[in-house]
Structure 1
Amino acid sequence: MILLTFTRNEAIPKEKVIWPKQYPIYVGDTIGVTTYYQKLHWHDVLEINLIKSGSGYYMINGQRFEFREGDILMINSNDLHCAYEKDNLVMLVISFAPFWLLGNLRYDSEILSPFKEMGAHFTNLLDRDHPSIGLLRDILLELQVEHENERQSFASMVYSQLLRFLALVNREFRMEGVGKPKEKVNSAQLEKVRQVIYAMEEKFGHPWTLEELAALVYLSPSRFSDIFRRVVGSAPLVYLIHIRLERAMILLETTNMKIMEVAYECGFRTLSNFNRLFKQQYGVSPRISKKKNYQITVR
């Protein structure tokens, strides 16, 4: 059994996975992108995504990666990232603990290089036109079949497929130099964004202004807004609305608070504005969302 916990670092929640020692891997399909994963987050696992259908984009450490059916993405531990769906997204997600493969470093010291050298010799989005990309897709799908069928020695089969995948990426997709974006976001800037998002999460009902948020990390509003946009993919106050709407949904689903009380608790100053933004985000009105929750509660 794999448990997900969320802890606070200096900035935003860190997704921490408590792994079973003998089989520290998660394999499963996701349909669409949940509201949590539309928020910037990070975790202590290594992750591989195969896009089975649909399209969307990732924001990873300030870079935007457009993806479509057939693409494969690799996300390193501690990468700041969030995902957005464009249409009909189904994605195979494979995440695993790095310690599972450490023993193999005695035989192949480069087996984890696709993650360790990310940004230097590898990119998060693998070349979709590479001759070996089809073989990589097949390996991941075979890994999923072994995981789901749980036949005798399935853990060894999953392990071997994972090793095969990483070895092939290391052999075929290594580049001498990865092109850097013209305005790369550095680690200090990433940390500033983390700090601001942490403040947003902690005090989501506060009437934040752009000036206040920028002052938290000692930047001018224009400079802060530019960095935030490059890291997250949206303006700071737009992202804040996203956080508030998510908290509102949780309150509607888990409490008996009135809709107006929820709106004010989450920082919305007018009910009409809250209703409009909520429906825009979730496709239903707060009233309908609360009614569904009530029906589930009384049954």
Structure 2
Amino acid sequence: MDSVKEVFSFSREFPFIVAHGYGSNDPVPMLHWHDCLELNLVKGGSGVNVIGSDSYSLVQGEIYVINNNERHYAFRNSYLDLLVIIFDPVLVWQCGAFDYEYLRPFFERKISFCNRIQPDNVFAREIGALMEEIEKEDREKSPGYRLVIKALLMKVLALLYRHFKLEGQIEDEVQEKLREFNRIKDAVSYIDLNFMHDINLDEVAQMSFMTRTYFSTFFKKVMKVNLTEYVLSLRINYAARLLKQTSMSVTEICDRCGFSSLSYFNRTFKKATTLSPSEYRKSTGL
């Protein structure tokens, strides 16, 4: 069956969408996929949810969990109403291992993993109620609604983790990954607090009781990026926050974030965001 990539236009500062989906009755279904993560709540009607090689008969109250690699398609009978939440993982995960726990049901799955949580499950009822509350916040847009939406989403993800953990559907090998992270936890915490200053490789390696060479290799294995890339990502994220939230000049932000020169700051920021610092600030309305 053919598939097509779906692209969403997220808000830059809040990559999140909540909407209703009504399925399709196309006799030749087209599976789609996207770079973001997706949750479905069956609000009413009936049909079939095709996710990868599995097909599920849609029943009111069900929850579906769909990751960024899974081809999927919702087929309706006479009527179908899905409450759909779509978000970029960056909304939740800021490189730390603890944040990653929220996303494990999307990425760390056993072969027996089931995308569906049935409506008689206590977690389905609680998660469904939270998703409806998220929709209400997004619709009413009261002051601070994005703060509330993110808080509610984090609870949804925590409950998903609890459900799939209790069901034994999350890979046990992650425990080894967490043990590995604990070996460099002090060094990572130090880097997170001091990234705007020069980071001495020997110093952070000593915090983990490793040689500099072994620390560099081990750090990349655990964090999926090397030390330089990790520090740079922290500086870019901090710079973006300062550009959005303060009136500091670009030069001041460059210095505050620890970049060695303005030209280097401009170049690396644009490479990471596709916009120069000045263009990025203009895009936020400041």
TM-score tier by shorter-chain length is: 0.5 to 0.7
Contact kept, 8 Å, 2:45 with 2:60, in 1: the verdict is yes
Residues 1:25 and 2:16 aligned together:
yes
RMSD: 2.4
Following superposition, the deviation at residue 18 of structure 1 comes to 3.3
| In structure 1, C-alpha distance between the alignment counterparts of 2:89 and 2:47, rounded to whole Å | 27
Residues 1:89 and 2:80 aligned together:
yes
Query: Which residues of 2 match residues 1-299 of structure 1 at below 5 A?
Result: 12-33=3-24, 35=26, 38-103=29-94, 105-120=96-111, 122-174=113-165, 175-177=167-169
SS of the equivalent of 1:143 reads helix
Contact kept, 8 Å, 2:45 with 2:80, in 1: the verdict is yes
| In structure 1, C-alpha distance between the alignment counterparts of 2:78 and 2:15, rounded to whole Å | 31
Q: Structure 2 counterpart of 1:176, which letter?
A: G
Deviations 1:189-227 (A, max 9, x none): xxxxxxxxxxxxxxxxxxxxxxxxxxxxxxxxxxxxxxx
Following superposition, the deviation at residue 114 of structure 1 comes to 1.1
Following superposition, the deviation at residue 103 of structure 1 comes to 2.1
Q: Cα distance 1:166–1:36, how it changes in 2: closer, same or farther (>3 A)?
A: farther
| In structure 2, C-alpha distance between the alignment counterparts of 1:33 and 1:146, rounded to whole Å | 27
Q: Which has the higher contact order (CA 8 A, sep 6+)?
A: 1
Contact kept, 8 Å, 2:16 with 2:88, in 1: the verdict is yes
Q: Cα distance 1:32–1:82, how it changes in 2: closer, same or farther (>3 A)?
A: closer
Q: Structure 2 counterpart of 1:144, which letter?
A: E
Contact kept, 8 Å, 1:50 with 1:71, in 2: the verdict is yes
Contact kept, 8 Å, 1:52 with 1:69, in 2: the verdict is yes
SS of the equivalent of 2:8 reads strand
| In structure 1, C-alpha distance between the alignment counterparts of 2:169 and 2:97, rounded to whole Å | 26
Per the alignment, residue 231 of structure 1 pairs with none
Following superposition, the deviation at residue 81 of structure 1 comes to 1.4
| In structure 1, C-alpha distance between the alignment counterparts of 2:50 and 2:23, rounded to whole Å | 16
SS of the equivalent of 1:18 reads coil
Contact kept, 8 Å, 2:20 with 2:83, in 1: the verdict is yes
SS of the equivalent of 1:139 reads helix
Following superposition, the deviation at residue 90 of structure 1 comes to 1.0
| In structure 2, C-alpha distance between the alignment counterparts of 1:177 and 1:157, rounded to whole Å | 29
Deviations 1:4-57 (A, max 9, x none): xxxxxxx74311223222111111122343759941121111011111101111
Identity %: 29
Deviations 1:51-99 (A, max 9, x none): 1101111121111111111111111112111121123211111111111
SS of the equivalent of 2:74 reads strand
| In structure 2, C-alpha distance between the alignment counterparts of 1:165 and 1:72, rounded to whole Å | 11
Q: Structure 2 counterpart of 1:158, which letter?
A: I
Following superposition, the deviation at residue 121 of structure 1 comes to 6.7
| In structure 1, C-alpha distance between the alignment counterparts of 2:65 and 2:48, rounded to whole Å | 13
SS of the equivalent of 1:91 reads strand
Contact kept, 8 Å, 1:105 with 1:111, in 2: the verdict is no
Aligned length, in residue pairs: 168
Q: Cα distance 1:33–1:132, how it changes in 2: closer, same or farther (>3 A)?
A: same
SS of the equivalent of 1:52 reads strand
Following superposition, the deviation at residue 145 of structure 1 comes to 0.4
SS of the equivalent of 2:70 reads coil
Q: Structure 1 counterpart of 2:168, which letter?
A: E
Q: Where in structure 2 are there 5+ consecutive unaligned residues?
A: 171-286
Q: Cα distance 1:104–1:169, how it changes in 2: closer, same or farther (>3 A)?
A: farther
Q: Structure 2 counterpart of 1:164, which letter?
A: K
